[in-house]
Structure 1
Amino acid sequence: MGEGLYWWFAVLFIGLQFLKENMPDINQNPGILEFLNDYTELGFSSVLLFLLIGTVLTIVVQSSSATMALTLLMTAEGWIPFDLAAAMVLGENIGTTITANLAAIVANFHAKRTARAHLIFNLLGVLWMLILFYPFLNLISWVAQQIGSESPYVNAAAIPVAISLFHTFFNVLNTFLLVWFITPISRIVVWSVPEKIEVEREIDEPKFLNQKMLQFPETAIASLLKESKYLFQNTIFEIVTHALNIHREDIKSELKAKKVVKKSIEDFKTDVRALYLSKVKNIYGEIIRYATNAQSTLKLTKVQNNRILEIKVANRKMVEVLRDVKELNRNVSIYFVSENKHIKKEYDLYRKLAVQVLRVIYNIPTDDTEELQKNLIVLRKKTNKKLSEHNVQIDHLIRKNLITTDMASSLVNDNDNVRDVLNNLITVAELLYCRSDTLFAPVNEQKESLIEVA
């Protein structure tokens, strides 16, 4: 988000604070609201008007409790009746959510979702209350009389008690009612505020490439490995996952791959190139530079030199993954919500295979490289077999005219893209995690002829 937008919101909140501090002190001079008495005879329009007034007052005063106190004061002075005081209370329930939503505009998507959920929850509560407004007020009047108070319709002195009952009953019933609709409300919130990777304005820097570690082959290789593994299991994992419109949390969960794909229905609008430039390019360049320096300045055994070459290849493969997933991202975002069930099913298959591979990457064991190697071999065979079978399915869809020419072209190209992405991910895992640590290589290997790459 641009710096100008942050300034805009800074000025907005300064303006709100200025308005709050310089407006007439309503608490000390409540008489300035007496004019509202002229708008109490408009029927249900008055209810809507005072609901709006309650909302605006809460935003300006920035305190629902202060607005509640003003509402009770206005009823005590006889300026507004019980029903309009209740309407103001409903407005306060909306107004109290506005500040949080304004603040969340420049926050991350988690904060936006929280604020949006609060707003939707209160709006739904106000909506159903307006539908049952007068019957509910009659119920409150009856309850007030049952506990020894008078009817708020008859005696203005009884309105504060009735308003307190109204506020309490409304919030309790609203919570009890809407708690059964948490799932659809959360879906609305997730749909309205999609998850996004916030593109960092600053270029990410390496975390483990220390020049002091470049003095010895073992420490240099260890640093290269640590940096490369961190890049792979964090940044590459994150970008690929979001490029396929899949939540990282779902990859890490116990949900079956098919269910993960089924529930991921948002377009994250991931800019793969921007993320590569800000999160990967600099670190990739530093890894290659560090590795080349190690090969040029250190006396390495053949084993050690080969290990550095493998690390360099692994990093190059990571960049290739981003190149291919960038091509894949556009069509996934178009077709994973397509009305054509056939094309949607094919892209769901691509995403399902990606979930299975990404899940292995996230859960890579650190203590059993032999078992990992076996798992990666099986995963590669299974993935390639599925994609080969998928070619037959594409031919079937084309022959039966179940997809358009453009869809067929996209599927054919993306079948290759998916194959390259997933195979390269598996290759990176093999290169980084399934090779013997040179620190523990056999002595005779360590004593092989030293080579110094000029």
Structure 2
Amino acid sequence: MTRYYLPLVIGALLLTFWVSSDAQEIAAGVAIFLFGMLMLEDGFKLFGGGALERILERATGSTARALSFGILSTTLLQSSSLVSVITISFLSAGLISLIGGVGIIFGANIGTTTGAWLVAGFGLKINIAAYAMPMIALSIVLVFQKSRPLRGIGYALAGLGFLFLGIHHMKEGFDTFKDQIDLTRFALTGLLGLCVYSLVGTIATVVMQSSHATMVLILTALSAGQISYENALALAIGANIGTTITAILGSLGANFQGKRLALAHLMFNALTAMVALFLISPLRETVDWISDLVGIAPDDFAMKLAVFHTIFNVLGVALMLPMLNRLIVFLENRIIEPLPDVSRPRYLNEAVDEFPQTIEIALRKEVLHLYENAVELILHGLNLHRDEVFATDNVAALVRRSRTPFELDLDESYERRVKTLYAGIVEFTTRVGDKRVDPDIAARVYALRDVASDIVRAVKSIKHLRKNVLRYTVRRQGAATELYDELRTEIARIAIEIRQLGLTEPENRSALWLDQERAQIEGDARTASQRVDRLIRKGALTATAATSFMNDSGYAYGAMRELIEAARSYYIERESAMAEVERLLSLDEEELREAVPEEERGRG
């Protein structure tokens, strides 16, 4: 589509420039305005530091809060498109509910009307270019600073400056343009005018992907007398339909929840537009009444358009809110949640790439998904049922009872449930590396990739164990069975402890257990050969079984180390004061060797 779309737009612009050189100023004004919006968004991403994302996560506890957040955030950012993209990103990452996301979209539609008020009441009545130049000049100084907040403020200030400059050039362009060509000659009245100009407004917003830019263009053209008030109303209605293109494009890389939200956005804006078209006459009368009430001059059509834009958006929300629950049910029935596929990434999609907060959180969820798959394979590979292991209060007794082999192709399961997920995680972190991400967030992302690597290595170790687990634990074979049962017990116990760590509140998690467990593993690993020697001398263990066990114990202790290190990196918060205390108390590699009592070292 882009292959045809881009040449068509460029060709149309060149033709317009050829017909009238004054149209260049209007086009340049639109371009400068859109560039300002991009800089404003970049400034938010730098300066926000995840602030808006954190607020968004908490702002969807109720429909009223979600609606209020949509209004406030869009008013501050002057971009319903950005708010829509953030909402889709958080919804795809599983951080907010669908009903909360829809509430935010409703609020964003009301919030976007404040842009029309600012332009009509401020931008068209004074020389805003005089404010734009100092803002742009000051912003350049800030953009080149090392501090992210200062650079963010610089980008935001430049964005506002370019917005003002774009509005100025659009206004000047239309003022000059009207001396050559009177666009009001193309005005259409009645139902035909409503339909045609609504379509024009929709197409213009789809091309620019900004209803705010379209509204500014409409207001500047209206103030210059280049379009009629009636046609401007229709253009504003069309702009509301066209603005859904951003959410639709954003949902293409999202999961089913993102697609549901994009459909809700389209349905809401289309219904609002239909109601506005159907009730255009009563709405115009209401605008006239409100304008007289607040002192807006009868011929101040720009301000009256701002009133109209607000009224029909508020009306749309008022009509949809009572049907919100039924809308959610419709969306859930229309776009069915796919059956869970444990072999595919659940949370990693292009929609969560947009913002640092969702990148990290989605990756954390996916790594946990990988661990859940892995721990099931690990326990099943040891002939232990995961649910039974997590439910028992006597792991050793459960292991002694578990002699029935699992019907399991561990190699095939590893390829399908672990390797595929791990490949998705690696590909995702590589994408993140290509983006401008805060170094701290990038470090945490790469740390999570390392956690995934630890988990994968643990599963590979169990793959090596599987053959002799089947050989020595399905039926009792004396000391060899006892040795393998001890390995199975230790691995199962670590899986249980890691699960408990995950269920513990973050502020109560401690790394001390992990250090103690690591010390115990190192001690057992060093004394394993001594124990085997003693059993061989007593005649309780054959040389063949001893050789197998020594190889397999290395794999088993390796798996335990990997699981503990994965749990440490994933669950323990390093930034807290308690974590700092625990760092001082934690054992380093030298202390781990010294921590094993002498009697343990000689145990056999």
What's the TM-score, normalizing by structure 1?
0.49
TM-score by length of 2: 0.37
